[in-house]
Amino acid sequence: MLEGKRILLIVSGGIAAYKCPDLVRRLRQRGAAVRCLLTAGGAEFVTALTLGALSEDKVYQDLFSLTDEDEMGHIRLSREADLVLVAPATANILAKMTAGIADDLATTALMATDRPILAAPAMNVRMWENPATRENLATLEKRGIGFIGPEEGDMACSEWGLGRMSEPDQIAAAVEDFFRQGLPLSGKRALVTSGPTHEAIDPVRYLANRSSGKQGHAIAGALARLGSQTTLVSGPSHQPDPPGVEMVKVLTARQMLEACEQALPVDVAVLAAAVSDWRAQTVAKGKIKKTGPKKAPELTLVENPDILATLSTKGNLRPRLMVGFAAETGDVIANATKKRAAKGCDWIVANDVSPETGAFAGDYNTVHLITEAGVEDWPALSKTAVAERLAQRVAGVLAAAS
C-alpha cells in the first residue's frame, strides 16, 4: 500500500529511537522507500549504520557537511519525499518545530519542507503533560501536522502513563491511513476470500481443487489500492501476499468461514475462493494404508458450510455489498443467475472454468457480471484488469450509498 511512496524519517533523540530500525523495516515491507535523517541526540540511541543498512540508503546527519550538502542539500532532502515522519518526536524537537528553530539538519529540513508532516511523540508523561508541550502540540496541530500516538504504558524511565511512542506497526499503519485519504474507498472495509480450501482425509491426503488464488489476490490488492482497509482470507495459494492487505491464511472451509466472520463488519465482501463443497466425515488419525483388505477405502463426505450464503444472510452484519463468484463448466449465465438468487448476494461474477478456457490457473479471465440490473459481458481481460474493473465498480456503489 506504500508502493512508490518516499518517506523521510527524522529520528530524534529519545530512547524510543531503538524502535526505528524496526519502523524502517515495516515501512519498507509495505513498499515505501525510506530515507533516514538522524539527529545528534538520535545517534546516541541508534546508529546510522543500522538505519542505513535497513533503509538501503545513505543516512543524513550533518547540516554542515560539505559532502552531504553537495550530494543532497537540505532543501532537496526535505522535498524529495512524499511525507516527512518524525519518530520519535521528542518534546525538544516539537518545541523547535513550534518556534521555527532551524539549528541542525533535522530542524532545517522540517522548516524547509513543503511536504506533509506526521510526528510520533515519545517522552516522559510529565513532559507530555507539561503546559509547554500541550501548547506546542495545539499550535502544530493547527498548522496541519498530524500526530500518531503517543500510547499509555510503562516507560523506559520506569514511570507509567501517556508518552510512550506507538509501536512501529501502528506507526506504519497510520502512515498507510494517511496515504489512503482522498482515495475512493478510503474509510471503507473490504473482505476478500481467495484460493482453494484443503479438506483432510488423513494426515497426508486432502480434497482440493485447481484454484490458484490469482483472481482473489488480485481483487484484494485492487481494493486496497483504492484505499479500503482490506482483509484477505486465503486458502493454500502460492500467490504473493498483496501489499497493504491484512492476510489471514486458512486451510479448510470451516476455518475460512470463521475467519470471515471475525473480519466483520465490512462494507463489501468479495468471495472469490473456490471453497471445497464437501469434507470427509471422519479424518483418519493415521495414514490410510493400502495393505490389509484388498478393497479401496470408501469416503463418506459431508457438506461444508456455504460462506457466501452465510454472510449474505447475516442480518445487521451483512456487508452492504456482497459479491460472489460462480465457477461453471456449462450454462454459465443461467447457473450463475440461479446462484445469485439462491445465495442471496448482490452480484455474481460468473466465469467458465472448463479446462479449455484455462481460467482456473491462468492469467486471463472472461467474466460476466450479474447484478440486479442484468448481465454484463466483460471482454477477455487479465485477472489484474478484472480485479481493477471490479474494484472501481465496488467504489462506485459504495460512494453512491454513503
For residues 184, 222, 168 and 178, what is the CA-based torsion angle, rounded to 10 degrees? Answer: -20
From the CB of residue 152, how many other CB atoms can be counted at a distance below 10 Å?
12
Of 94, 273, 369, 387, the one binding ligand CTP by CB under 6 A: 273
Backbone dihedral angles phi then psi of residue 386, each to the nearest 5 degrees: -60, -45
Residue 306 near ligand CTP by CB under 6 A: yes
Check if the beta carbon of residue 139 is closer than 8 Å to that of residue 149: no
Q: Which three cell numbers, joined as nine digits, stand for 192?
A: 476478500
Q: Which three cell numbers, joined as nine digits, stand for 325?
A: 463468484
Of 7, 308, 332, 370, the one binding ligand CTP by CB under 6 A: 308
* Rounded least distance, CB 70 to ligand CTP, Å: 58
Query: E strands, 251-346, where?
Result: 268-271, 278-280, 301-303, 321-328
Q: Which is nearer to ligand CTP, 157 or 342 (CB)?
A: 342
Check if the beta carbon of residue 272 is closer than 8 Å to that of residue 256: no
Q: Which is nearer to ligand CTP, 40 or 342 (CB)?
A: 342
Q: Convert residues 317-336 into a mask of x (bound to ligand CTP by CB under 6 A) and - (unbound).
A: -------xxxx---------
Of 57, 69, 258, 277, the one binding ligand CTP by CB under 6 A: 277
Check if the beta carbon of residue 116 is closer than 8 Å to that of residue 51: no
* Rounded least distance, CB 258 to ligand CTP, Å: 13
In what helix (H) or strand (E) does residue 255 lie, and over which residues does it extend? Answer: helix 253-263
Residue 347 near ligand CTP by CB under 6 A: no
* Rounded least distance, CB 257 to ligand CTP, Å: 8
Name the segment binding ligand CTP (CB under 6 A); options: 127-135, 156-164, 281-289, 301-309. Answer: 301-309
Task: Give the count of residues interacting with ligand CTP (CB under 6 A).
Answer: 16
- Applying the rule CB under 6 A, the residues between 132 and 171 that interact with ligand CTP are none
From the CB of residue 378, how many other CB atoms can be counted at a distance below 10 Å?
16
Closest by CA to 194, choosing from 216, 179, 172, 211, is: 216
CA-to-CA distance for 390 and 392, rounded, in angstroms?
5
Q: Which three cell numbers, joined as nine digits, stand for 284?
A: 483418519
Q: Which is nearer to ligand CTP, 93 or 307 (CB)?
A: 307
Q: Which is nearer to ligand CTP, 123 or 270 (CB)?
A: 270
Residue 307 near ligand CTP by CB under 6 A: yes
Q: Which is nearer to ligand CTP, 299 or 342 (CB)?
A: 342
* Rounded least distance, CB 192 to ligand CTP, Å: 10
Check if the beta carbon of residue 263 is closer than 8 Å to that of residue 230: no
Q: Which of 20, 36, 157, 260 is catalytic?
A: 157
Q: Which is nearer to ligand CTP, 67 or 300 (CB)?
A: 300
* Rounded least distance, CB 325 to ligand CTP, Å: 4
Give the N- to C-terminal CA distance of the chain in Å, as an integer.
24
Q: Which is nearer to ligand CTP, 307 or 386 (CB)?
A: 307
Check if the beta carbon of residue 117 is closer than 8 Å to that of residue 145: yes
Q: Which is nearer to ligand CTP, 109 or 275 (CB)?
A: 275
Collapsing DSSP to helix, strand or coil, 187 comes out as coil
Closest residue to ligand CTP using C-beta atoms:
307
Residue 370 near ligand CTP by CB under 6 A: no
Q: Convert residues 23-42 into a mask of x (bound to ligand CTP by CB under 6 A) and - (unbound).
A: --------------------
Catalytic (active site) residue 36? no
The DSSP letter of residue 309 is H
- Applying the rule CB under 6 A, the residues between 226 and 255 that interact with ligand CTP are 253
| Interior/surface letters 40-54, b for 16+ CB within 10 angstroms, e for the rest | ebbbebbebeebbeb
Residue 271 near ligand CTP by CB under 6 A: yes
Query: E strands, 16-65, where?
Result: 33-38
Residue 275 near ligand CTP by CB under 6 A: yes
* Rounded least distance, CB 338 to ligand CTP, Å: 9
DSSP result, 281-340: SS--SSPPPSSSSSSPPP--EEEPP-HHHHHHT-GGGS-SEEEEEEEESSSHHHHHHHHH
* Rounded least distance, CB 189 to ligand CTP, Å: 19
Which amino acid makes up residue 192?
V
Closest by CA to 55, choosing from 30, 27, 76, 75, is: 27
Provide the annotated active-site residues.
157
Binding residues for ligand CTP, rule: CB under 6 A, are: 193, 253, 271, 273-275, 277, 304, 306-308, 324-327, 339
